[in-house]
Amino acid sequence: MQDTLLRGRTLTFHHRPEGVEDTAAYSYVENGAVLMRGAKIIASGDYDQVRKAGPQAEVIDHRPHLITAGFIDTHVHFPQVQVIASWGRQLLDWLNGYVFPEEARFIDPAHADEMAGRFLDLLSDHGTTTAVAFCSVHATSVEAYFTAAAARNMRMIGGKVMMDRNAPDNLRDTPQSGFEDSAELIAKWHGKGRAGYAISPRFAITSTPEQMEMTAALVQAHPDCHIQTHLSENRDEIAFATSLYPKARDYLDIYEGYGLLNDKMLLGHAIHLGSREVGTLAETGAHPVFCPTSNLFLGSGLFDDARLRGAGTNNGIASDIGAGTSYSMLQTLNEGYKVLQLQNQSLHALQAFDWITRGNAQVLGLADRIGTLEAGSEADVVVLDARATPAMALRMERVETLADELFLLQTLGDDRAIVQTYVAGQPRKRAN
């Protein structure tokens, strides 16, 4: 098996940095390298030392570019790739006007296959090597998603949305069919290669109590699967959801009442939360997921990261394509920084890059496999060019620190700043 050595400046994180002075949180090597053998990282760090570990390795010289772990996106809608940048309305109108008609097309296997390939190529082009996706209600969409991921050896998590009410007839399942389809897909895909299944009740509005009971049965039968849904994105959504579950103390209590809250649970948005909900998220280990570009696009509200972290939650961050407006996790950080600024919260660039690599891997319980350049990790790597555009190159003439370079990347960077994306050791970025 041919070893490959990537040469450049390397950056990997060990814990969430408290600030620029927290140098123990990360390792940055000016004359660095990453040695890959097949789909694994064998060594990383100082070039001379890494070279000794792979003296026969093929060397790919990426100097002076920056090499980090591949980016991780914890909330995205694969069937919405062709409704991104549709004129924005409020959440429920947007779903009915754009999303549901688009998702109905994924009953066609040929369409699902084509979109899955194009979707994963776009992720790789933007430096994303792992994502957690909602597929459509159709098993065909899940088959297409995982088949395309397997062909690229990408570590991807996803699942069929379950929804048996408040959706068009051609997008509804039943409690029983949703359970059976999900169980079959779990048996076929979960844990096979790099695939992971996420049990996916879309949100409380589109699932009856009977379907939520079947969701709970799936979670009990498959405790190693992730669970994903939506929570408190929009005030009208909250009012509608709680009207459908009048015994619930609040929106989160709907999911809590069915035993769905644990450290495998990913809750997209989580903007408008009461104090009881915040405390319960921390107690159960469930993960709120910040989706800044979609929250701004739909006018949903501002995610309060400091409040949640202060209570003890471990939050993800995500693009939320297709209400999200960019596949780029760099641009996700750009808008996330602004959302937090509006609340007098700061997002340091070192914290930001930790968040989209090791931090999101930790949210997924996969930090031992992805999100760092540590030996033994899977070889998902991104190479970044902070001079990718004339505007970036001009700014870089005055950049003096790593933190400033990272902030430039997260503010002005996009797919043009991605020199190459390695997925399981293989280059996957298409030419710009």
pLDDT at 91: 63
CB 347 within 8 A of CB 340: yes
> Which has the closest alpha carbon to 137: 163, 109, 117?
163
Q: Average pLDDT by consecutive 10-residue portion of the chain (432 residues)?
A: 94 94 96 98 98 96 98 96 77 73 92 97 98 97 98 98 95 97 98 98 97 98 98 95 98 98 98 98 98 94 98 98 95 98 97 98 98 98 98 98 97 98 97 73
Q: How many CB atoms lie within 10 A of CB 381?
A: 27
For the CA atoms of 327, 331, 336, 339, the dihedral, rounded to the nearest 10 degrees, stands at: -110
> Which has the closest alpha carbon to 33: 15, 19, 54?
54
pLDDT at 88: 63
Q: How far is 219 from 256, CA to CA, in rounded Å?
A: 13
> Which has the closest alpha carbon to 162: 97, 206, 110?
206
What residues does 195 pair with on adjacent strands?
156
CB 193 within 8 A of CB 236: no
CA 261, 76, 15, 373 torsion-angle sign: positive
Q: How far is 207 from 228, CA to CA, in rounded Å?
A: 13
pLDDT at 322: 87
For the CA atoms of 383, 387, 392, 395, the dihedral, rounded to the nearest 10 degrees, stands at: 120
Planar angle of CA 65, 368, 407, nearest 5 degrees: 35
CB 190 within 8 A of CB 165: no
CB 227 within 8 A of CB 74: no
pLDDT at 431: 79
pLDDT at 334: 98
pLDDT at 97: 76
Q: Which positions ≥6 away from 145 have C-beta within 8 Å?
A: 78, 112, 116, 119, 133, 135, 156, 158
What residues does 258 pair with on adjacent strands?
none
